[in-house]
Amino acid sequence: MKTTKSFSAIFAFILLGASLLSCGQSKPKTNSDKDYMKKTDAEWKKELTVEQYQVLREKGTERAFTGKLWDNHEKGIYYCAGCHLELFDASTKFESGTGWPSFWQPINQQAVKVGSDTSYGMVRDEVVCSRCGGHLGHVFNDGPKPTGLRYCMNSVSMTFEKATGKK
């Protein structure tokens, strides 16, 4: 009986030690980790334009119909201006009449994160880049089929690369 209790105590001690050691190990970073790309404000200010910094890092909004991409009709890919993560394929862009580039879905579900935005006395769903956390815009449920969503993005939060036709 004493042997069984001793064995149980030793086994429990080993399990406890293993679990404590595993708590200290960091998990691998993925695009969905909030702090995947950590930079200081000084680093962001050095890399971004004043307008990009104001929107991407301070959650600002560019005025409607002023961005370079709202009326873009080229085939290609839209990237995060902060970290160059692929965000949207031009094939999902549509004319929303809002003055901001609008898409009915991201390039993949891991590209963006959606969270709550309660600024300006409104409740909206904020869209941020999953890699750098940069503010991209908002998503609304008044978009076209097949998703019924309208990802209303700030042009200044993105860059665009025209399709080359090569695959």
Catalytic residues: 152
Rounded Cα distance, 25 and 36, in Å: 16
Q: How far apart, in Å, do the first and last CA atoms of the chain sit?
A: 71
CB distance 124 to 115 below 8 Å: no
Q: And the tokens for 135?
A: 């503010």
CB distance 106 to 154 below 8 Å: no
CB distance 159 to 129 below 8 Å: no
β-partners of residue 137 are 127, 153
CB distance 117 to 138 below 8 Å: yes
- Phi/psi at 55 (5° precision): -85, -55
Rounded Cα distance, 24 and 1, in Å: 36
